[in-house]
């Protein structure tokens, strides 16, 4: 089965791109959320271009689902003189207390100028940006300690910008999730689809699950075998990704009449279990 070329840039994302550009002048810094499982595939190149010159705090969110052996070098690679990078998890709250100190350090010179002008009590303003379904609204709710932003585990829930006040001296501007018009590397589109940043209902889920099988057999073969009770893992030459997916479906008993594997059910199961962390702590990108 041939793999699909994944692209997704609905009209509201072009509007979001304009909103980001128009509102940058109203904030002191940018908080960019990336998915720790795909720290490079989830980095929108247009956000980096639009926000050039602004202090930027990158949060590798969903870190509890990612491979810590990859997260550490990714943090080093993503950090520079004007950019700090932290790992966070909005479900457990890990890393959240470090956000305010990191922002204040990034904006130290601006805060000192405010202090010299007698504006020492002024809150920092930060724009929260990232791809769809990366956890922006969950982050804001975790910081606020209550439900200030609507949250669902699917892309496209936040559709308009909204200001949210917090108790940590930071005023947050929550932006809708945004992708970019064209993925030059097809692997980026696959990784975004596997993690749920692109709506499942516009995708061929079997092709996405095949891509996941390819990543797992390459980077995490032991986890793949343990989860799906495979006594051995055939090479790609012996068994392609589609056939591997069918083998897993057969092991799970996902059969239809005639003994054929229900590939759609198998594909959805693989994606659901990956996204829930049931296979293990997995990072699809490499540093």
Answer yes or no: is 55 within a domain: yes
The model's pTM is 0.89
Domain boundary among 117, 152, 174: 174
Which helix (H) or strand (E) element contains residue 111?
helix 108-116
Answer yes or no: is 286 within a domain: no
Q: How many residues does the structure list for the chain?
A: 287
Whether residues 151 and 220 fall in one domain? no
Q: In Å, how far are 29, 126, 190 from 173, measured between CA atoms?
A: 10, 6, 29
Whether residues 101 and 50 fall in one domain? yes
Answer yes or no: is 285 within a domain: no
Whether residues 161 and 209 fall in one domain? no
Whether residues 18 and 109 fall in one domain? yes
* β-strand pairing of 124-130 with 29-35: parallel
Dist CA 16 CA 25 (whole Å): 15
Whether residues 258 and 130 fall in one domain? no
What was the pLDDT predicted at 153?
Answer: 45
Give the residue from 284, 259, 262 showing the smallest Cα distance to 274: 284
Say if CB 57 and CB 84 are below 8 A apart: yes
What 8-state DSSP symbol labels residue 175? -
Dist CA 154 CA 142 (whole Å): 18
Domain boundary among 120, 154, 174: 174
Range of 137's domain? 11-174
Whether residues 221 and 131 fall in one domain? no
Answer yes or no: is 93 within a domain: yes
Whether residues 139 and 233 fall in one domain? no
Residues β-bridged to residue 8: none
Give the residue from 33, 62, 17 showing the smallest Cα distance to 194: 62
Answer yes or no: is 2 within a domain: no
Whether residues 151 and 57 fall in one domain? yes
Answer yes or no: is 160 within a domain: yes
DSSP assignment string, 230-265: -SS---TTTS-HHHHHHHHHHHHT-B-TTS-B-HHH
DSSP assignment string, 41-88: TT--HHHHHHTTTS-EEEEEESGGGS-HHHHHHHHHHH-BTTEEEEE-
Answer yes or no: is 280 within a domain: no
User: Which CATH number covers residue 242?
Assistant: 1.10.1580.10
Dist CA 193 CA 179 (whole Å): 12
Q: In Å, how far are 56, 166, 175, 208 from 23, measured between CA atoms?
A: 15, 19, 10, 35
Per-residue pLDDT of the chain (287 residues; tens, 9 = 90+): 445 566 555 566 778 888 899 999 999 999 999 999 999 999 998 888 888 889 999 999 999 999 999 999 999 999 998 899 999 998 899 999 999 999 999 999 988 888 888 877 788 999 999 998 999 888 888 888 765 644 444 444 444 678 888 888 899 998 888 888 778 888 999 999 999 998 888 889 999 999 999 999 999 999 999 999 999 999 999 999 999 999 999 999 999 989 999 999 999 999 999 999 999 999 999 98
Dist CA 195 CA 210 (whole Å): 13
Query: In 150-237, which ranges are continuous DSSP H helix?
Result: 186-195, 205-219, 221-227
User: Which CATH number covers residue 118?
Assistant: 3.40.50.300
What was the pLDDT predicted at 3?
Answer: 52
Whether residues 16 and 141 fall in one domain? yes
Any residues with CB less than 8 A from the CB of 241 and at least 6 apart, and which?
210, 211, 213, 214, 217
What total number of domains does the chain contain? 2
Whether residues 127 and 260 fall in one domain? no
Token pair for residue 167? 């108790």
What was the pLDDT predicted at 265?
Answer: 98
Answer yes or no: is 126 within a domain: yes
Domain boundary among 125, 153, 174: 174
What was the pLDDT predicted at 6?
Answer: 64
What was the pLDDT predicted at 148?
Answer: 60
- Rg (alpha carbons) of the chain, rounded to whole number: 21
> Please, how many CA atoms are within 13 Å of residue 188, restricted to the half-sphere of its CB?
17
Whether residues 163 and 214 fall in one domain? no
Whether residues 250 and 119 fall in one domain? no
Give the residue carrying structure tokens 């990543």: 215
Q: In Å, how far are 66, 80, 165 from 38, measured between CA atoms?
A: 8, 19, 29
């Amino acid at each position: 089965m041939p793999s699909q070329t994944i692209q997704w840039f609905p009209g509201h994302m072009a509007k979001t791109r304009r909103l980001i550009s128009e509102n940058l002048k109203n904030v002191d810094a940018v908080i960019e959320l990336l998915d720790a499982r795909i720290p490079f595939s989830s980095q929108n190149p247009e956000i980096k271009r639009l926000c050039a010159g602004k202090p930027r705090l990158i949060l590798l969110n969903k870190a509890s689902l990612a491979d810590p052996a990859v997260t550490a070098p990714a943090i080093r690679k993503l950090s520079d003189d004007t950019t700090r990078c932290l790992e966070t998890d909005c479900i457990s709250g890990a890393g959240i207390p470090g956000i305010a100190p990191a922002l204040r350090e990034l904006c130290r010179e601006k805060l000192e100028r405010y202090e010299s002008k007698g504006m020492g009590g002024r809150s920092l303003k930060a724009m929260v940006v990232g791809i769809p379904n990366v956890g922006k609204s969950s982050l804001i709710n975790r910081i606020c300690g209550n439900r200030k932003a609507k949250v669902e585990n699917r892309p496209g829930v936040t559709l308009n910008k909204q200001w949210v006040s917090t108790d940590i001296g930071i005023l947050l501007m929550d932006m809708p999730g945004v992708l970019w018009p064209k993925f030059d590397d097809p692997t980026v589109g696959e990784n975004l689809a596997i993690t749920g940043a692109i709506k499942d209902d516009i995708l061929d889920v079997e092709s996405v699950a095949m891509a996941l099988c390819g990543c797992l057999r390459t980077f995490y073969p032991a986890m793949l075998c343990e989860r799906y009770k495979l006594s051995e893992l055939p090479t790609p030459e012996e068994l392609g990704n589609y056939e591997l997916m069918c083998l897993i479906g057969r092991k799970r008993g996902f059969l239809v009449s005639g003994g054929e594997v229900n590939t759609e059910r198998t594909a959805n199961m693989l994606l659901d279990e990956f996204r829930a962390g049931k296979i293990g702590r997995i990072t699809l990108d490499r540093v």
